[in-house]
Amino acid sequence: MSVSRPPSQLALNVNCTERSVCADPATPLLYILRNDLECNGPKYGCGLGQCGACTVLIDGVAARSCVVPVRAAVGHAVTTLEGLAQGERLDPVQQAFIDEQAAQCGYCLNGMIMTAKAFLSTHPDPTDEQIREALRFNLCRCGTHVEIVRAVRRAADLLRQARAQAERR
């Protein structure tokens, strides 16, 4: 039998915006993001943290929001797919996935992009093997893994180009 907890007022930083929600602190972050904060990037896939469709970044680290209680996000920066773009300009990782047409049904795509974003922040020049290893726990039922690996490789190139441009300024 589950015990119902009284809701608490919780302050969250989601996509660089301070937000306040009233919720049971044990509620999965995914539900708060989708139902209360209208962030539809993270998807419900399995509810067990195994498929990756719900992946968000917490302080830049990929996290499965379906198994992270909202209380664990308090005091941390949460980034969803919606928070990657800068205005109308897509993040290089998003752009690479579009350029490489790395989606078929698209259900896994948000989690793949968020996982790739976190991975590329620590692996700026990855091999294909490293990319496959980083994405191994993100489930794609359509079988577009070849395109996804190509998109992550392209994203790494775009990020390197952006860094080189910034250094020249």
Q: How far is CA 130 from CA 21, 52, 122, in A?
A: 38, 17, 11
- Topology of 92-168 in CATH? DNA polymerase; domain 1 (1.10.150)
Q: How far is CA 141 from CA 49, 81, 138, 144, in A?
A: 16, 20, 10, 8
Three-state SS at 120: helix
Please give the pLDDT value at position 6.
Answer: 80
Q: For CATH 1.10.150.120, list the domain ranges present in the chain.
A: 92-168
Q: How far is CA 124 from CA 14, 22, 26, 159, in A?
A: 25, 39, 35, 8
Tell me the H-state helices in 63-144: 92-99, 109-122, 128-134
Q: For CATH 3.10.20.30, list the domain ranges present in the chain.
A: 8-83
Please say whether the structural domain 8-83 has been given the CATH code 3.10.20.30. Answer: yes
Percent share of the chain, pLDDT over 90: 85
Name the pLDDT band for 96 (thresholds 50, 70, 90).
very high
pLDDT digits (tens, 9 = 90+) for 56-79: 999 999 999 999 999 999 999 999
